[in-house]
Amino acid sequence: MTARKIAVVSAGLGKPSSTRLLADRLAQATVDELARIGVTATVETFELRDVAHDIVNAMLTGFPSPTLRHLLETVTGTDAVIAVTPLYTTTYSGLFKSFVDILDKDALVGTPVLLGATGGTPRHSLALEYSVRPLFTYLRAHTVTTSVFAATDDWAGGTDTLASLPARITRAATELAVAVVARPASRPVDPFADAPNFADLLGDS
C-alpha cells in the first residue's frame, strides 16, 4: 500500500509552543493508528510563525515565496491535514486565518482534516466548533468529528495530566486514520497538466 502523507500546520507563536506540542501529539497518534492497521505514514510539520511575513506578502501581492509555495503545495497535495491554532478572544489566531485565506477555495475539497486548538481555559473549547470548523466546512474539507482542545492545565508539569486529553487525542487520531485509509492515496499534482500541447496547436494552423 502506498505510504500516506500527513501535513501538520501549527499556528503557535511562541517557542516552545503548547500549540506545536498538541500538533505533535495528534500527528504521532495518527501515525501510530495507521501503523496499527498496516499503513505507513510520513509527517511534515510547518510552523506558520516561520512564514508569517511571507503569508502577509502573499495576501498583498498574490504571489507566495518559494518557502510558502512549498508549504501550500504540501498541504494541498497531502492525504490528510492536522491544523492547530491558539485561541485568542474566543477565536482562531489572525495568523491562522491569514493562512486559510491564501488557500485556494478548492484546494482541500474532500481532504481529511483534524482540528485542534489551545487556550488558557476549557471555557473556550467550543470555539473549535463555532469558529474553526466552519472555515474548513467552507473549503469542503472532510473534517473528522472529534476536534481536540487543550487548556493550560492539560500541560501541567510539562505533560498532559488530565486523562481526558490523551483519550480525545486517540479518538481524533483514530477517526483521521480511518478517513485517510478510506480515501485514495494522493498523487503529486502536475502544475502543467492543463497546458496546451503546442505541437498539436501548430499542427492545426
Q: CATH no. for residue 99?
A: 3.40.50.360
Task: Work out the number of other CB atoms within 10 angstroms of the CB of residue 70.
Answer: 14
pLDDT cut 70: percent of the chain above it: 85
Structural domain count of the chain = 1
Q: What pLDDT, on the 0 to 100 scale, is given for residue 125?
A: 83
Q: Give first-to-last CA distance, the chain, whole Å.
A: 46
Average pLDDT over residues 183-196: 56
CA 122 to each of CA 88, 117, 156: distance values in angstroms, whole numbers, following the listed order:
13, 11, 14
User: Which range has the worst mean pLDDT, 5-9, 80-84, 86-90?
Assistant: 86-90
Separation of alpha carbons 101 and 95, rounded Å: 10
b/e string for 170-204 if b means 16 or more Cβ within 10 A? bebbbbbbebbbeeeebeeeeeeeeeeeeeeeeee
Other beta carbons less than 10 A from residue 6's beta carbon? 24
Q: Which of 49, 54, 42, 41 has the alpha carbon at shortest distance from 19?
A: 49
Across residues 163-175, what is the average pLDDT? 90
Label residue 93 by pLDDT band (50, 70, 90).
very high
pTM given for the model: 0.86
What is the rounded CA–CA span in Å between residue 178 and residue 76? 19
Confidence at 109, pLDDT banded by 50, 70, 90: very high
Indicate the pLDDT class of residue 90, thresholds 50, 70 and 90.
confident
Pick the residue with more confidence: 126 or 122? 126
Please answer whether residues 84 and 13 qualify as being in contact, where contact means their C-beta atoms are separated by less than 8 angstroms. no
Residue 44, domain extent:
4-203
Rounded to a whole number of angstroms, the CA Rg of the chain reads 18
Contacts of range 57-62, beta carbons closer than 8 Å, 24 or more positions apart: 58/102, 59/98, 59/101, 59/102
Q: C-alpha cell of 139?
A: 473549503
Peptide bond into 134 cis (omega under 30): no
Alpha-carbon distance values, 124 to 86, 92, 130 (Å) = 11, 11, 11
Helix, strand or coil for residue 195? coil
**pLDDT surpasses 80 at 17:** yes
- The secondary structure element, H or E, covering residue 3 is none
> Is the pLDDT reported for residue 137 higher than 90?
yes
